């Protein structure tokens, strides 16, 4: 799993700032314990490192552009990926397409609108990203989460 979402960071302080319920904290802890997490600084890093993992045989579990928010609208992105040994061309096509869309939209925007977000809005976007990855993993792994 690759993410730039501070919610997936192992730092307790950030989780308290977000204000998760006990139930969601439990799910978050289970995700952290079950999946290997590589935390990235920027959304672009998440996409590029996911592509690198796909080149090394990784297979996408979740779509890199999941949800109805465009890549520049939500500063946080988490992508589920499982290891493999052979190049999965479908995963490669999906991640390459996501990177192209990201680059296209950012070149048109000319500025990173996420820099002007309030802490409350950042928290909301963090929770949206968490909800998307949770739904994707629940779909793949069922009630194990």
Look at residue 22 in the predicted model and tell me its pLDDT.
Answer: 73
* DSSP characters over 60-105: ESS-TT-SSS-TTT-S--EE-EE--SS--HHHHHHHHHHHHHHHHH
Domain extents in the chain: 2-144
Write down the pTM of the prediction.
Answer: 0.81
Q: Which residue has the higher pLDDT, 66 or 52?
A: 52
Q: Per-residue confidence at 68, pLDDT binned at 50, 70, 90?
A: confident
């Amino acid at each position: 799993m690759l993410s730039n979402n501070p919610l997936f960071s192992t730092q307790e302080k950030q989780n308290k700032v977000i204000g998760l319920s006990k139930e969601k904290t439990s799910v978050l802890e289970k995700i952290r314990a079950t999946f290997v997490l590589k935390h990235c600084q920027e959304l672009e890093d998440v996409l590029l490192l996911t592509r690198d993992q796909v080149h090394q045989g990784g297979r996408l579990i979740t779509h890199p552009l999941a949800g109805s928010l465009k890549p520049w609208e939500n500063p946080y992105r988490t992508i589920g990926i499982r290891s493999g040994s052979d190049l999965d061309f479908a995963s490669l096509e999906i991640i390459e397409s996501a990177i192209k869309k990201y680059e296209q939209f950012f070149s048109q925007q000319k500025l990173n609108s996420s820099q002007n977000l309030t802490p409350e809005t950042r928290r909301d976007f963090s929770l949206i990203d968490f909800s998307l990855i949770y739904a994707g993993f629940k779909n793949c792994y069922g009630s194990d989460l």
